[in-house]
A = this chain, B = another copy of it.
Amino acid sequence: MQRITIQHVAKAAGVSVSSVSHYQNGRYHHLRPETIERIRKCIAELGYSPSRVALQLKSGQTPMVGLLVPSIDNPYHADLALALDQEALKAGLRPVLGNGQRDAAREKAFIDELIEYGVRGFISTSELRDAAAMSEYVKRGIAFALFDLRLVDIGGLNGIDVVSINNALATSRAVDHLAALGHRRIAFLTTPPSSANRTARLDGYVAALERNGLSDPLVISIKDDENTEIGDSGLAGFAEKAAEKLLESYPGTTAVIGINSIVTIGICAGLQQLGVKVPKDISLIGVDNIKLSSMMVPTITSLGADYGAMAAQAVEYLRTRLAAPSIPGRETIYVPELIVRQSTTVPSP
């Protein structure tokens, strides 16, 4: 019932705790083979394993790193969290997941709590809104690797590393793909573009329309609750709303780009419920190549990068920054690849 400590082992083996400690740490030249064997046996019999808490108090080191996501039931963040979890474990770290719920206070509470546990590094796929708090953390030597923003977006904050896809290029390539198929009226479905990465995706769309000599931008923006994003908890009415708004606002549209794959999946469902055929009547394409994209009917054409590689890079950034906190901010921007699936085709005449 109660913890077996090094003291119990020492007493059982008839040696001092120092000797047991030496044994535990492989300093065998301090010990006679006979003594080694005795200690080994006692440890096995008692089932002793050292307290990491005491170790950490002594050493000040912990393998824990924080892994902050807005909500693991958002498929995009679940995919990413899984990749990050696995990469962090590979690197010998112990990831501790926190659901921030897109709430600055919750996120801060999570970070502060882990810091009290001695954690010095965090990876976040959640947009950390509180710039002042972040600056404070960085000043205190806390390391961050952030997803889905650019170094320029956090201009003032040195000492943070960033991993992202090229957001403007993603939507730009989406337009190119649709234009090449012959689409002329291409709409863009988004939730309010409040963050830098969303603005970039919108910009990419607008620029590519112009470059291809197409229609004016056709933007549909649908607002969700304050602290929720589409996909955090299913689609909850989004599907129909998006589909209706599209058909009403921009009749004659033959293709839609979703700002992320969740909203694309949403409007896909909404359109089909209204009897619109995808892709025969309307082609759909999404940014973020989440696993769900290939589970739908039709499967969804997407633009995405290798999450495993991105996760590995984020972990590597964190590892090196923990070792050398003062190096300047770094970033890796991944080129989004087009994965053509069933949801895009030539427009019907």
Q: How far is the CA of A3 from the CA of B56 in the complex (A)?
A: 13
Interface members, chain A 12-61 (any B CB < 8 Å) = 47, 49-54, 56-57, 60
Additional pairs, 5, CB under 8 Å, beyond known A51-B118, A53-B53: A1-B325, A50-B116, A52-B113, A52-B116, A292-B292
Let me know if A165 is at the binding interface, CB within 8 A.
no
Q: How far is the CA of A47 from the CA of B140 in the complex (A)?
A: 10
Q: How far is the CA of A97 from the CA of B66 in the complex (A)?
A: 11
Give me the interface of A with B, judged by CB distance under 8 Å.
Answer: 1, 3, 47, 49-54, 56-57, 60, 62, 71-73, 75, 78-79, 81-82, 85-86, 94, 96-97, 99, 112-113, 115-118, 140-141, 233-235, 239, 265-266, 268-269, 272-273, 291-292, 294-297, 325
- Beyond A51-B116, A265-B295, is A99–B82 a contact (Cβ under 8 Å)? yes
Chain B residues, CB < 8 A from A265: 295
8 Å CB contact of A295 from B112, B117, B234? B234
Does A116 lie within 8 Å of B73, measured CB to CB? no
Least CB separation from A271: chain B residue: B297
Least CB separation from A55: chain B residue: B116
Does A112 lie within 8 Å of B235, measured CB to CB? no
- In angstroms, how far is the closest chain B Cβ from the Cβ of A297? 4
Least CB separation from A113: chain B residue: B94
Chain B residues, CB < 8 A from A94: 113
Q: Looking at A51, A72, A85, A112, which has the most chain B CB atoms within 10 Å of its CB?
A: A72
Q: How far is the CA of A97 from the CA of B78 in the complex (A)?
A: 13
Q: List 21 A-B contacts (CB under 8 A).
A: A47-B140, A51-B118, A52-B116, A52-B117, A52-B118, A53-B53, A53-B117, A54-B57, A72-B72, A73-B79, A75-B75, A85-B97, A96-B96, A96-B97, A97-B97, A234-B292, A234-B294, A235-B295, A269-B295, A269-B297, A272-B297
Q: How far is the CA of A235 from the CA of B294 in the complex (A)?
A: 8
Chain B residues, CB < 8 A from A234: 291-292, 294-295
State the oligomeric state as a number of copies: 2
Does A82 lie within 8 Å of B86, measured CB to CB? no
Does B54 lie within 8 Å of A140, measured CB to CB? no
Least CB separation from A56: chain B residue: B53
- In angstroms, how far is the closest chain B Cβ from the Cβ of A103? 12
Chain B residues, CB < 8 A from A96: 96-97
Chain B residues, CB < 8 A from A1: 140-141, 325
Chain B residues, CB < 8 A from A51: 57, 116, 118
Q: How far is the CA of A96 from the CA of B54 in the complex (A)?
A: 20
Q: How far is the CA of A71 from the CA of B47 in the complex (A)?
A: 30
Q: How far is the CA of A294 from the CA of B82 in the complex (A)?
A: 23
Q: How far is the CA of A279 from the CA of B181 in the complex (A)?
A: 32
Chain B residues, CB < 8 A from A272: 297
- Beyond A52-B116, A53-B117, is A269–B296 a contact (Cβ under 8 Å)? yes
Does A53 lie within 8 Å of B49, measured CB to CB? no
Chain B residues, CB < 8 A from A71: 82
Chain B residues, CB < 8 A from A294: 234-235
Q: How far is the CA of A265 from the CA of B60 in the complex (A)?
A: 48
Does A233 lie within 8 Å of B296, measured CB to CB? no
Q: Looking at A78, A265, A294, which has the most chain B CB atoms within 10 Å of its CB?
A: A78
Q: How far is the CA of A73 from the CA of B47 in the complex (A)?
A: 35
Q: Looking at A118, A235, A291, which has the most chain B CB atoms within 10 Å of its CB?
A: A291
